[in-house]
Chain A
Amino acid sequence: MQARTIRLRAGADLEGFRRAIRRLVAAGVTPEAVTWIAGEAASLFPEDDVGEPGPALALPRAVAALVPPVVLHRDPERYGLLHRLIWRVAQGERHLAEVASDPLVHRLALMRKAVGRDLHKMHAFLRFRRAGAGEAGRERFAAWFEPEHHILAEAAPFFAARFPSFDWSILTPDGSAHWDGNALCFGPPGRREDVPEHDSFEAGWTDYYSSTFNPARTNLAAMRAEMPKKYWHNMPETAAIPGLVREAGRRVGQMIERAPEAPVKRVPIRALAAMAAQEPDSLAALNAVIRASAPLVPGATQAVLGEGPPGAAIAFVGEQPGDQEDLQGRPFVGPAGQLLSRALREAGIDRDRAYLTNAVKHFKFEARGKRRIHQKPTAGEVAHYRWWLDRELAFVAPRLVVALGATAVLALSGRQVPITRARGPASFGEKPYRGFVTVHPSYLLRLPDDGRGEAYAAFVDDLRRAAALAADPLPA
């Protein structure tokens, strides 16, 4: 068969290779008959233009996946090796890429790995230096890097995703990449001198690098295996390495030989005693903590704290503050709260002498136009807030805690229980108070008119039973 020469662009010419390989396979040209030339290298053979692409090749996925990274490799044989792989696959070895032990597949896998490693090292070892201000007062940074393979175009998007808010340029001997806040573009090779010589954070960074080194663990082979010397001259911190290594032995010797010294400072007895007293020691202290905490789900105006006299015989736990509660910063002041007040009155309970609070202290909602639609807290959110609820009830020390609805039951007992099953006197585990379960007043508001009267009466009835229980002294 006639010898052919295929000339591709310098660097990584995936598109050219793809077009050529399709034609070659379609024409049945064996790998032995082809010489691949990338870029400017002179050729002794008559040259073949890449020309029109042949019909698309259906390659197994593992083979197709191997081509793009291998094309980035600097080895001049890369196209020829890929041709041999694709030729064998086309000749019937469909599973060839899965046979990692095959010498050709093994070699290509090593090339892919080398390219992957080079990419990873570029992402890791490239160092930016501040290069003044860019467009519209944006900060500007520049870096010089010498990749081993043709990876600049492959490596650059990582930096665009990571550093969108300042302008930057990456210069390499093969080409350059530039980001202006909107788009990534590629240009001609750069020079090391085009990058500023200094950066005001480099000395601090080198100090950090030196301080984080532990001389007692010196292991130069491990360092060099992961950070080969060829990268060092573009990494400012590596200038500290010779000194660190030279001093390591002496520093360790000193640490080992030096006799322990007596502490110069006295034991801070008062600070230690104060440290032990960090727990909030009153309801007010606890409330201060709650008030200062950010909502678990952002959006709430403020934390809504419990309300009522400490020592109240009966405490009511709802779900979470609603729209009105969130704005006013008080529990049970919205429509459901008003319904609760009415029911309490009818059951003979003085709202001002009861303690009212919620399992979750912040309003969670979904904004729909101007309206804020209440969203049920998840079990995880309820669990986050239960610490506060537990401490709060410990300070109030009621005889009876009434859970209004399923969320309150979950918060108090840690278990999901359907209200219909649990309604009435209940135990929330080992607690110093009795428990009682009923519906949440908002449930009543959601019922159709014809069922509401009956349900409301049952609710008031529950409250009466609860009041009777709360009046009963706890067994000793």
Chain B
Amino acid sequence: MDDALKKKLTILADAAKYDASCASSGAPKRKAEAGGLGSTTGAGICHAYTPDGRCVSLLKILLTNYCLFDCAYCVNRRSSNVRRAKFSVDEVVTLTVEFYKRNYIEGLFLSSGIIRSPDHTMEQLIRVAKTLRQRHGFRGYIHLKTIPEASPWLIEQAGLYADRLSINLELPTEASLERLAPEKDGAAIQTAMGQMGERILQAKEEKRRFAPAGQSTQVIVGADASTDESLIRTSARLYDHYGLKRIYYSAFSPIPDAASILPSKSPPLQREHRLYQADWLMRYYAFSPDDVAGATESGMLALDVDPKLAWALRNRDRFPVDVNRADREMLLRVPGLGVRAVDKIVAARRHATLRLDDVARLTSGLKRARPFLVAADHAPTRLTDRLDLRARLAEPPRQLSLF
């Protein structure tokens, strides 16, 4: 690998890292054909972890970080003075194939700054994916970023070669978009999401290959004044209307050469974490957006307790719950019990009566669960009425400084 290519890679990986999406999951199981390369297992694989704790699954790069747009939160906006570079289609293909052969990556995540026009940019992205699939018989994972301003037929062609497509919402309100991302159009973003959602669904029904791992999006947290409640309600609507697979919450992070409109400060990582937990509650724990909203304090999720615990503390009259009797839905509402723990409880109690020790073997969250649970040998002594319960269960403030 020559130095010029290495230098481009450094610039264009640095430029792509603020996109939180990393998943390589959701594609159907595939094997390479004779002479081809790559497979997908369905579950996704993280091939390394960087010191920020995030996984490296796909080669996540931009085709170029030259950009005509001027989105204030973005390191690549046209008014930023960062170093610029541009890959050729073949360079991206070579990097993907050679990295893949060495088992460094699951595939490619390709995005780009807008050069010349959204259509031109989208065409280049599609050419990379098409070359990988057709010339190299590449069966690994491909995630293409979709440019919502591109013509609808191009957006739809991307789905022929990509496993996952994503359009970033970036900011949850029309007003914030207007202020911080003047070239973007909230209506166009949602139209494109809707269009893609429709195509993906239709292809599934017709058993055609079209973005089989669905679509996802990203929202930046902390760049505008949106509350957690409004973010969660936006998410619920997106999951509902467009059948999104994932919404990524990305804590707004200081960037080199930041715009003056957004002062640089440490990213709100704990807030991001709580939003993911709230998102999970809606997707896997049957919480409604109203339930989540009910766990907030003037629209914001608590940072010292997780949203499920916050909800339980507000709804103490629904507890304690008998681990040997309660239905699955109610067990899912017990703080500290995850979906898998609940399923094991439901299976085990058919053949045994569960004591507190038994529950301890099924979850690592017993400390949080205990005040809300009744087991064969345990009944909380009015713990749910105690005023200091929250303080006893809260996490110590997380170490947010760096070391």
Residue positions of A touching B, CB distance < 8 A = 95-96, 98-103, 106, 120, 123-130, 139, 141, 143, 158-159, 161-166, 199-205, 207-223, 225-227, 235, 237-238, 241, 244-245, 248-249, 252, 255-256, 258, 260-261, 263-265, 267-268, 271-272, 274-275, 277-279, 289, 293-294, 296, 378-381, 383-384, 387-388
B96-125 CB contacts (< 8 Å) to partner A: 98-99, 101-104, 114, 116-120
Q: Which 3 A-B pairs have the closest CB atoms?
A: A222-B53, A101-B358, A219-B53
Does A384 contact B103, Cβ atoms closer than 8 Å?
A: no
B54 adjacent to chain A (CB < 8 Å): yes
CB-based contact A255/B361 at 8 Å: no
Which residues from chain A contact B254 at a C-beta distance below 8 Å? 216, 252, 255-256
Contact of A383 among B48, B198, B251 (CB under 8 A): B198
Within 8 Å of chain A (Cβ to Cβ): is B203?
A: yes
The 8 Å CB contact of B51, one of A164, A245, A268, A378, is A245
Distance in Å from the Cβ of A302 to the closest Cβ of chain B?
17
Residues of chain A within 8 A of B364, CB atoms compared: none
Say whether A204 contacts B6, CB under 8 Å: yes
Chain A residues positioned under 8 Å from B187 (CB to CB): none
Q: CA separation between A90 and B172, bound complex, in Å?
A: 59
Closest A residue by C-beta to B256: A255
Q: Which of B32, B118, B151, B359 makes the CB contact (< 8 A) with A162?
A: B32
Contacts of A202 in B (CB 8 A): 102
**Chain B interface residues toward A at CB < 8 A:** 1, 5-6, 9-11, 13-14, 16-18, 31-39, 41, 45-56, 59-60, 68, 78-81, 95, 98-99, 101-104, 114, 116-120, 130, 137, 140, 151-153, 156-157, 160, 198-199, 202-203, 205-206, 208, 210, 251, 253-260, 264-267, 269, 344-345, 347-348, 350-352, 354, 358-359, 361-362, 402-403
B362 in contact with A101 (CB, 8 Å): yes
Chain A residue with Cβ nearest B126: A294
Report A171 CB to chain B, min CB distance, Å. Answer: 14
In the complex, residue of chain B having the shortest beta-carbon distance to the beta carbon of A199: B102
Among A227, A260, A277, which residue has its beta carbon within 8 angstroms of that of B258? A260
B402 touches A103 (CB 8 A): no
Q: Which residues of A contact B104 (CB under 8 A)?
A: 127, 201, 205, 237
Decide yes or no: A165 and B54 within 8 Å by CB, A201-B98, A380-B205 being known contacts. no
The answer to whether A387 touches B151, judged by C-beta atoms less than 8 angstroms apart, is yes
Query: B79, B98, B352, B402: which contacts A102 (Cβ < 8 A)?
Result: B352
Q: Is the CB of A279 within 8 A of B151?
A: yes
Q: Contacts A205-B104, A211-B10, A380-B202: A99 and B348 contacting too (C-beta < 8 A)?
A: yes
State A293–B158 Cα separation when bound (angstroms): 12
Closest chain A residue, CB of each to CB of B272: A217
Chain A residues, CB < 8 A from B41: 158
In the complex, how many angstroms separate the beta carbon of B192 from the nearest chain A beta carbon? Answer: 12
B31: chain A residues at CB < 8 Å are 161-162, 164
Residues of A within 8 A of B101 (CB): 128, 139, 141, 163, 166
Please determine whether B156 and A211 come into contact, CB atoms closer than 8 angstroms.
no
CA distance A260 to B98 in the complex (A): 39
- Contact, CB under 8 Å: A244 / B51: yes
Cβ contacts under 8 Å, B210 to chain A: 380
Check if A201 sits within 8 Å of B1, measured CB to CB: yes
How many residue pairs bridge A and B at CB < 8 Å?
266
Question: A203 CA to B6 CA in the complex, in Å?
Answer: 8
Query: B95: which A residues are within 8 A, CB to CB?
Result: 204
Residues in chain B near residue A289, CB distance under 8 A: 151, 153
Q: Are B255 and A296 in contact (CB under 8 A)?
A: no
Whether A220 contacts B13 by the Cβ 8 Å rule is no
A127-B104, A204-B5, A268-B78 in contact; A216/B51 too (CB < 8 A)? no
A227–B54 CA distance with the chains assembled, in angstroms: 10
Are B116 and A387 in contact (CB-based, < 8 A)? no
- CB-based contact B37/A99 at 8 Å: no
Contacts of B56 in A (CB 8 A): 209, 212
Per the bound structure, the CA–CA distance linking A129 and B102 in Å amounts to 6
Residue of A nearest to B38 (CB): A162
**CA of A99 to CA of B52 in the docked complex: distance in angstroms?**
38
- A214, A267, A277 — most chain B CB neighbours (10 Å): A214
Pair A162/B39 contact, Cβ less than 8 Å? yes
Are the C-beta atoms of B55 and A293 separated by less than 8 Å? no
Contact of B208 among A127, A221, A380 (CB under 8 A): A380
Complex CA distance for A241 and B51, rounded to whole angstroms: 7
Chain A positions within 8 Å of B344 at CB level: 100-101
- Bound CA span A208–B61, Å: 9
Contact of A252 (CB < 8 Å), options: B48, B49, B347, B402: B402
Bound-state Cα–Cα, A381 to B160, Å = 12
Contacts of A260 in B (CB 8 A): 257-260
CB distance from A348 to the nearest CB of B (A): 37
26 A-B residue pairings within 8 Å (CB atoms): A101-B361, A125-B48, A158-B39, A165-B32, A165-B35, A165-B36, A201-B98, A202-B102, A208-B99, A212-B50, A213-B51, A216-B253, A218-B403, A226-B46, A235-B48, A238-B48, A245-B51, A249-B402, A256-B264, A260-B257, A260-B258, A263-B81, A268-B78, A275-B117, A279-B151, A380-B202
User: Once the chains are docked, how many angstroms separate the CA of A352 from the CA of B98?
Assistant: 55
| B265–A256 touching, CB < 8 Å | yes
Known contacts A161-B31, A203-B1, A260-B260, A222 near B49 by CB under 8 Å: yes
The one of A101, A203, A210, A223 that contacts B359, using a Cβ cutoff of 8 Å: A101
Contact of A128 among B16, B48, B103, B140 (CB under 8 A): B103
CB proximity of A20 to chain B, nearest CB, Å = 28
| Docked pose: A44 CA to B254 CA in angstroms | 66
Contact indicator A218/B351 (Cβ below 8 Å): no
Within the complex, what minimum Cβ distance (angstroms) separates B397 from chain A?
15
Residue pair A211, B352 in contact (C-beta under 8 Å) = no
Per the bound structure, the CA–CA distance linking A123 and B34 in Å amounts to: 21
Q: A221-B53, A263-B80, A293-B157 are in contact. Are A209 and B269 (CB under 8 A)?
A: no
Contact at B352–A213, with CB atoms within 8 Å?
Answer: no
Q: How far is the CB of A470 from chain B (nearest CB, A)?
A: 29
Whether A212 touches B17, Cβ cut-off 8 Å, given contacts A164-B32, A265-B78, is: yes
Residues in B whose Cβ lies below 8 Å from that of A252: 254, 266, 402
Nearest Cβ on chain B to A150's Cβ, whole angstroms: 21
Note all chain B residues with C-beta closer than 8 A to A235. Answer: 48
User: In the complex, what distance in Å separates the CA atom of A309 from the CA atom of B344?
Assistant: 70
